[in-house]
Amino acid sequence: MGRSVNYLDNSEVVLYFPFENEDNADYPIDIAWDDMIDNLTYGIKAKLPSYYNVKNEWDNRETRIILQNNYCNIGISEYCGLVSLSVAIRSNDHYDTNYREEFAVHHANQIKGTLEKVLHNLGLKNLHKVGTFSNGEAVFELAK
């Protein structure tokens, strides 16, 4: 599988999974996409209660921020059926920056396994990025 998809700027964690609505052609893809995002945010908030919903916030023109807490943003992006779920540190000048960034990096890496379990529980296949060609196209395989 070779595709490229965007993710949050300065991401500490990026998970990839395919999303295709081939099972039911009568079920519009935009409704299926919205349902998947609702189920994903519900599943993440059930396991990580410090996160809350974010409405109409974007990191760049392609990655939508769906959840955040005091330390990190969780964003989602899709390109040709390949989805990225990324975790990036939030910038905030109200705290000691060095300590806060170290804690946020630790937190982002700590929740990676939980996010993988949420994807698995929703029946979404976690992919591992093998590499990127010089033209920017990435290659993925099923994660172990």
Residue 28 has pLDDT above 60, yes or no: no
**CB–CB of 15/5 below 8 Å?**
no
**CB–CB of 8/73 below 8 Å?**
yes
State the sign of the Cα–Cα–Cα–Cα dihedral 38, 41, 43, 45.
negative
The tokens describing 103, both together, are 């804690």
Burial class (CB in 10 A: 0-12, 13-18, 19+), 118: buried
Domain boundaries, position 76: 2-142
pLDDT (tens digit, 9 = 90+) per residue, 30-60?
A: 668 889 999 999 999 999 999 999 988 998 8
Phi, psi of 81 (to 5 degrees): 90, -5
Query: Beta strands of the chain (E only): which ranges?
Result: 2-3, 11-18, 52-58, 64-68, 72-79, 82-89, 127-132, 138-142
pLDDT of amino acid 23:
55
Burial class (CB in 10 A: 0-12, 13-18, 19+), 139: middle
Count of domains observed in the chain: 1
CA pair distance 107, 126, nearest whole angstrom: 20
CA pair distance 34, 98, nearest whole angstrom: 37
pLDDT of amino acid 109:
94
pLDDT (tens digit, 9 = 90+) per residue, 88-142?
A: 998 765 655 566 788 889 999 999 999 999 999 998 889 988 888 888 788 888 8
pLDDT of amino acid 2:
45
